[in-house]
A and B are shown apart, each in its own frame.
Chain A
């Protein structure tokens, strides 16, 4: 009897020593705020006062009526679609070019990955300089009309600028994942297809891409979830401008809470953004997983 009791206390001790700190930090920083965050959507809080009056569904009603939120969400979806397609196309093309027996292939890989070492804020400012000064100066010197005015001063071109920098930022990272996938496609399969008379592009289209579905699944999942939450780059490159025309959803939520002091509404919008992202990311993963081919 005593022995059983001893072993239970012993086990509790082991659990607390080994898992205690990790579980405490995890619960305190993610799980408790997550649950408390759901509660916050039913309250109205200005960020200062001690009490958070309960308001029922009022926040949800104001979110439905919040036109700018839905348009920033629409813009974000548009941005995600274009960014995910272009980033992955560029990354896959780079992976095809870099893998194989190419001189300096490690050098190129390392170079394309460099933007990932630097945070979105700093990248954003570097590119702001490129768009505002360098490209304008190039436009003036070479007399190229569409460069002579800063891209960041027109809403359509500022959006394009965000896409350009996103490609530059993420393609090197996704390229590494595609390279890992490419090395997994065995040389035998490729050679057999070539001997059977496939052209190089046919091999890519009908042999390599189907065998690399799992790399595509990972890369598309990563790029969807990252692009949906874009904030740092948005803040540093365009600051949502000109005239708020490039404010993405994550930035809108931030402003709603911390600038307009409508924390309850902001939290509700954050949760809606999360649900939409989660549904899209999970659906995409399930669809592309079901198409994966076992090599």
Chain B
């Protein structure tokens, strides 16, 4: 008797929870929905009746075609892909090698550098922003190169990546395997790439997800480094597009949809890994 009562009250609680969640979910999705709703409308309809499904003048794909062209979407998309991709690759390679030697070699300089990296994690970008521009723009004059931005992305990502690899290697990579390989005559590089690196997969996946998200969306640093139109990334191009076409709501809607589509597609495909990676990155 009591059991059934308890069960049914638990069920009601469950239903209430789902209803509340569904309502909150709709609120969270509302901006995306409104964006999508208006991206296919004519300009007049967006301004006069942004809430209606379809406008007086019907639907159009023209917004996308025009925004695609005016934003140079193919170029900026490729720039974003190159910068994010190459940076992630180098970050993983350099930070895993560095963390490995920090764990395995008990040298004073390693301990000192590791501490320095830990300390640097509290330094926000804004503190080094002005000196960075002064050094790389004023003294060296090497702004406006993808390579410069990639180098900086790598530098800014080192501390956190080395820290995470360091924890994983110390706790999860047995030294016995390496010693056996060493006795068989393998050099340190070969030991690292053939034995250690494949074992790092979980941390590699986490770091690639975290850095890819952060670098893909980064605006401030790229906007300071890349001022040449041919080098713009998606966030920079969106910012300038908004400035130039703030009266052309139709184009702006289409541009915003195009700017978020790559991330959304990847998310739909890799959702489970992305969520797991973000949690792993935050909790460590």
**Is chain B a partner of chain A in the same complex?**
yes
Interface residues of A (CB under 8 A from B): 11, 14-15, 17-19, 21-23, 25-26, 28-34, 36-37, 40, 45, 47, 50, 94, 97-98, 100-104, 108-122, 125-127, 129-130, 133-134, 137-138, 141, 168, 172-173, 176-177, 179-180, 218, 222, 225, 228-229, 231-232, 235-236, 250, 253-254, 257-258, 263, 266-267, 270-271, 273-274, 277-278, 281
Pair B51/A22 contact, Cβ less than 8 Å: no
Indicate whether B95 reaches chain A with its CB closer than 8 angstroms: yes
How far is the CB of B38 from the nearest CB of chain A, in Å? 8
Q: Report 8 cross-chain contacts, Cβ distance below 8 Å, ordered by A residue.
A: A36-B135, A117-B260, A122-B217, A129-B252, A133-B47, A137-B49, A229-B125, A231-B126
Residues on A with C-beta less than 8 A from B29 are: 111, 114
**Cα–Cα distance between A176 and B138 once the two chains are bound (Å):** 43
- In the A-B complex, the 7 residue pairs with the smallest Cβ-Cβ separation, listed nearest first, are A29-B155, A119-B217, A22-B98, A25-B155, A18-B101, A33-B131, A37-B131
Pair B25/A119 contact, Cβ less than 8 Å: no
Contact residue among A110, A116, A231 (Cβ-Cβ distance under 8 Å from B271)? A110
Which single residue of chain B is at the shortest CB-CB distance from A90? B24
Pair B235/A121 contact, Cβ less than 8 Å: yes
User: What number of A-B contacts does a CB cutoff of 8 Å give?
Assistant: 246
**Cα–Cα distance between A112 and B28 once the two chains are bound (Å):** 7
**Cα–Cα distance between A253 and B18 once the two chains are bound (Å):** 45
Pair B155/A232 contact, Cβ less than 8 Å: no
Residues on B with C-beta less than 8 A from A126 are: 31-32, 35, 256
Pair B49/A25 contact, Cβ less than 8 Å: no
Pair A31/B132 contact, Cβ less than 8 Å: no
Known: A28-B151, A122-B256. 18 other contacts (CB 8 A): A17-B189, A19-B110, A21-B98, A25-B155, A26-B120, A26-B155, A37-B130, A50-B138, A94-B24, A100-B17, A114-B28, A121-B219, A121-B239, A122-B259, A125-B242, A133-B50, A176-B278, A274-B124
Pair B21/A218 contact, Cβ less than 8 Å: no
Residues on B with C-beta less than 8 A from A120 are: 217, 219
Q: Is the interface of A mostly helix, strand, loop or mixed?
A: helix
Pair B100/A45 contact, Cβ less than 8 Å: no
Residues on A with C-beta less than 8 A from B192 are: 18
Q: Restricting to B54-109, which residues have a CB under 8 Å from any CB of A? A: 90, 94-95, 97-98, 100-102, 105, 107, 109
Pair B101/A25 contact, Cβ less than 8 Å: no
Pair A176/B282 contact, Cβ less than 8 Å: yes
Given contacts A121-B238, A176-B279, contact A14 B105 (CB under 8 A): yes
Pair B94/A21 contact, Cβ less than 8 Å: yes
How far is the CB of B118 from the nearest CB of chain A, in Å? 12
How far is the CB of B163 from the nearest CB of chain A, in Å? 12
Residues on B with C-beta less than 8 A from A119 are: 216-219, 235
**Cα–Cα distance between A72 and B247 once the two chains are bound (Å):** 30
- Interface centre among A47, A100, A111, A125, by most B CB within 10 Å? A125
Residues on B with C-beta less than 8 A from A104 are: 18, 21
Pair B97/A22 contact, Cβ less than 8 Å: yes
How far is the CB of B207 from the nearest CB of chain A, in Å? 13
Pair B155/A45 contact, Cβ less than 8 Å: no
Which single residue of chain B is at the shortest CB-CB distance from A171? B28
Residues on A with C-beta less than 8 A from B224 are: 258
Contact residue among B24, B132, B282 (Cβ-Cβ distance under 8 Å from A29)? B132
Indicate whether B20 reaches chain A with its CB closer than 8 angstroms: yes
Given contacts A36-B135, A121-B238, contact A263 B219 (CB under 8 A): no
Pair A25/B20 contact, Cβ less than 8 Å: no
Indicate whether B168 reaches chain A with its CB closer than 8 angstroms: no
Pair B50/A137 contact, Cβ less than 8 Å: yes
Flag B242-284 by CB within 8 Å of A: 1 or 0 each. Answer: 1000000100110010011001100100010011001100110
Given contacts A22-B95, A29-B151, contact A15 B130 (CB under 8 A): no
Which single residue of chain B is at the shortest CB-CB distance from A173? B278
